Amino acid sequence: MSYYIDTHTHLFLPEFDNDRDTVIGTSLEKNIKKFILPNIDSSTIESMLKVAGQYPGICFPTIGLHPTSVKNDFETELAIIEQCLDKYKFYAIGEIGIDLYWDKTYIEEQIEVLKRHLKYAEKYNLPLIIHSRKSLDEIIKVLEKNSYQNIKGVFHCFPGNEDQAYTIIEMGFILGIGGVVTYKNAGLAKVVEKTGLENIILETDSPYLSPVPKRGSRNDSSNIIYIAQKIAEIKNISIEEVAEVTTNNAIKIFNL
């Protein structure tokens, strides 16, 4: 029987401080065997590395500056990331990207920081975990304008349409599909239907974006099951096939 990988969970955040071991234990029992931990900014590195250290071979840390954390001090944040890249083993550059949903004040800084992260990915031969809320076209433009070598990764919580999905897959990226696929009016089901399973990985973004039927409660990795069930239903295939293919995709992209 294949197992699952949650390719995007913020297990190190305070939301899990009271029951983190229980959450991980329950997820392991439900056949979710590996967890990718995308960093947010310098304030989360220590807690993320601590969780990864407590669960070797189960929790895998990444490093990056989340776009909503990009402010005037971004050079200081990037210097910390560079120090960490030389000191620790990471499995991706992330969570990075552009976010124009909450605040457009630092759009130029976000673009600059994205370019710097692309260079880190190139230098350290690591995949990217890209956050693209209300900014998919802007990110595609940055990727198209700059000739980076061997850049690959995932568009986390993929927010786009079929054409945009095709564009990023052609660029060597895959789609991170989470709880949003279970939301009635999200439109993501149509994209998933048209996208080959070989171009999809599963993620929760926990503690956020709980899938139906868990909406309104804190999300955790055990809810991957509901996402996999929905994808199986959309594609009219078995949940075992969803688990097997998406897990193999994750192993390959994150070099697990």
Residue ranges and CATH numbers for the domains of the chain are 4-254 (3.20.20.140)
State yes or no: pLDDT of 60 exceeds 70. Answer: yes
Q: Does residue 244 have a cis bond before it (omega within 30 degrees)? A: no
pLDDT number for residue 177: 98
- For residue 213, how many other CB atoms are within 10 A of its CB? 10
- Percent of the chain beyond pLDDT 70? 100
Are 226 and 214 in contact, with CB atoms under 8 Å apart? Answer: yes
Tens digit of each residue's pLDDT (9 = 90 or more) over 71-95: 999 999 999 999 999 999 999 999 9
- Res 102 pLDDT > 90: no
| Cα–Cα dist 225/239, whole Å | 9
Closest CA to 176 of 62, 89, 81: 62
Is 166 buried (19+), middle (13-18) or exposed (0-12) by CB count in 10 A?
A: middle
pLDDT surpassing 90 at residue 146: no
Calpha distance 8→89 (Å, rounded): 17
Mean pLDDT of 25-29: 98
Per the structure block, which two tokens stand in for 74?
Answer: 């971004």
Asked if the model's pLDDT at residue 17 lies above 90, the reply is: yes
Convert 128-164 to b/e letters by CB count within 10 Å (16 or more is b): bbbbbbebbebbbebbeeeeeeebbbbbbbbbbeeeb
What average pLDDT does the structure give for the chain?
96
| Tokens found for residue 111 | 């673009």
For the segment 25-53, the average pLDDT, to the nearest whole number, is 98
Element (H, E) at 61: strand 59-61
Model confidence band, residue 150 (pLDDT cutoffs 50, 70, 90): confident
Q: What is the DSSP string of 85-154?
A: HHHS--S-EEEEE---SS--TTHHHHHHHHHHHHHHHHHHT--EEEE-TTTHHHHHHHHHHS--SS--EE
How far apart (Å, rounded) are the C-alpha atoms in residues 130 and 137? 13
pTM score above 0.75: yes
Q: Which residue has the tokens 């949003």?
A: 180
pLDDT-based confidence at 1, cuts 50/70/90? low
pLDDT of 149 strictly over 90: no
Q: Is the pLDDT of residue 207 over 80?
A: yes
CA distance 169 to 140: 11
pLDDT for 113 equals 98
Give 121's Cβ-side CA count (13 Å radius): 29
Mean pLDDT over residues 6-33, rounded?
Answer: 98
Q: Kindly state the average pLDDT of the residues 132-160.
A: 92
Q: Give yes or no for residue 245 having a pLDDT over 90.
A: yes
Q: What is the mean pLDDT of residues 152-175?
A: 96
Range 194-207 average pLDDT:
98
Phi-psi region of 173 (alpha: psi -120 to 50; beta: other; left: phi over 0): beta
Are 107 and 145 in contact by the 8 Å Cβ rule? The answer is no
**Mean pLDDT confidence for 202-212:** 98
